[in-house]
Amino acid sequence: MFCPFCGTVVEGGAQFCPNCGQQLPRSVDAGPIPTGGTIIDATVPDGTVVDGAMTGGTMPLGNQDFGTIPVQVPPVDSAPAAARPNKPGLDKGVWGIVIASVVVIALIIGGTIAFLHVGNADNAKQAEQIQTESTSKKPATRSSKGGNSAEKTTESGKNTGKSGKKTESDTSKDGNGQEVRTLDKKSMDAIVDGVSTTEVGVSVMTEDGLRSYSSRNASLPYVAAGLYLPAWVDFRDTYNRKPDDFTDSLTKMDNDSANALIDAVGGESDLNEWLSDNKYSRTRFERAYGDVQASNSGDENYSSPNDAARMLVEMAKTGDDSLMNYDIASEGVSIPSGATVHALRGQGIRDAYNYFMVISNGKRKVSVAVMTQDQGRDAAARLTSRVLDQVWNNMLKN
């Protein structure tokens, strides 16, 4: 069978021409199709034509006497172009729409990326500016309990204070008018090491936290006998007020009052947490004051001269050092003429003997911690006298 529109051979029963896509007449079996658009007369001797299709009989070709059925066959090159059913695709118009859509989407994505890049750059610049401003205006940090943390002293022994600048207006001056805020390390080392190079630690700090002198063992932990300061400074920092109910812990070095103050800040566990949070890394309390049995069992309270001196600085800032009234002169410690010294004294296991002091000329204060073990009272008193003499004559007297 042949397509009556383009002349392509078509399998029997096909509804569309596989070449031109035209719908084929039903049950048409024509002979060879002329290519010039001629008319073929088909005779119908015994059949009928219904809706362009013949039913019954045969349809011989050629002119007959009993009537003709005109069938017009258009030229092959005049057939309209149509998409082939077995080869679907997109025409040029659709492809144009697709390409245009892709271009638009690409432009939108590119513009979005550029916008985000610029926005991120602006945000980064703004964040850098905010960080710079916050660094210069950063307030004092708070401890885990909500209080102000102690001002930190660097390992190099330099502290710039809250203003970021060294405070020098209230310091002594040497013969050349130069301000003195530190002690001569060589001279101080000779004094301290002359007593012991292993069992003695000394630390000296100014009121603003500058480390004026730190001996070779000042960062090591010693038995904290007589150090009634940790819970007091913790309470001050946590509740931002003076623990008036526990002043006997300082004025009388009363163990019961000191233990009650530890309970007031949450017990030994909370006290140790606060000490750690505030960089008192060498101070730890494992027993109550006066608990000799716990001490003999291996539970002990420890601190370093550097940590103790920092606590004394906090006491001096608030004026609470005035509650430290132990008379160290009664034990042979020489107080420089004109100086005021507020002190605590501790003695205990392993023949520990410690002095914690704030020495003042009425205008400025300097904190001094002297901690010893296995030296006895007399050696500790002589060492403390020489340290106070150096502090007074080099930092406070002029």
DSSP state string for 43-65: --SS-EEETTEEESS---BS--T
Tell me the residue type at 42. Answer: A
pLDDT tier for residue 12 given thresholds of 50, 70 and 90 = confident
| pLDDT value at 80 more than 90 | no
Buried b (16+ CB within 10 A) or exposed e, 223-239: bbbbbbbbbbbbbbbbe
Average pLDDT score over residue span 101-117: 66
Relative to beta strand 179-180, strand 200-206 is: unpaired
Structural element, H or E, at residue 142? none
* Segment 234-272, tens digit of pLDDT: 999 999 999 999 999 999 999 999 999 999 999 999 999
Residue 312: closest CA among 265, 269, 369:
369
- Say what the pLDDT of residue 364 is: 94
pLDDT-above-90 percentage for the chain: 53
Q: Quick one: average pLDDT of 370-384?
A: 96
**Whether residue 224 has pLDDT greater than 80:** yes
* Crossing angle between the packed helical segments 267-277 and 255-264, to the nearest 10 degrees: 70
Token digits of residue 1: 């069978």
Q: What count of other Cβ atoms lies within 10 Å of the Cβ of residue 100?
A: 10
Average pLDDT, the chain: 76
**Strand (E) positions, the chain?**
39-42, 48-50, 53-55, 69-72, 172-173, 179-180, 200-206, 211-214, 222-223, 302-303, 340-348, 352-360, 365-372
C-alpha distance from residue 241 to each of 108, 244, 309 (Å): 62, 9, 21
Largest CA distance in the chain: 159
CATH 3.40.710.10 residue ranges of the chain are: 172-396
Quick check: 183 and 391 in contact, CB under 8 A? yes
pLDDT in tens, 15-27: 788 888 888 776 5
pLDDT above 50 for 115 = yes
Has residue 141 got a pLDDT over 50? no
For residues 26 and 53, the answer to whether their CB atoms sit within 8 Å is: yes
The pTM score is: 0.59
- Over residues 33-68, the pLDDT tens digits come to 444 444 444 444 444 444 444 444 444 444 444 444
Q: Is 106 left (phi over 0), alpha (psi -120 to 50) or beta?
A: alpha
Which residues 6+ apart lie within 8 Å of 292 measured at CB? none
d(CA 21, CA 82): 6
- CATH code linked to domain 172-396: 3.40.710.10
Rounded to 10 degrees, the C-alpha dihedral 301/306/312/316 comes to -160
Q: Per DSSP, what are the bridge partners of residue 358? A: 342, 367
4-13, 50-59, 135-144 — most confident range: 4-13
- Residue 33 near residue 4 (C-beta atoms within 8 A): yes
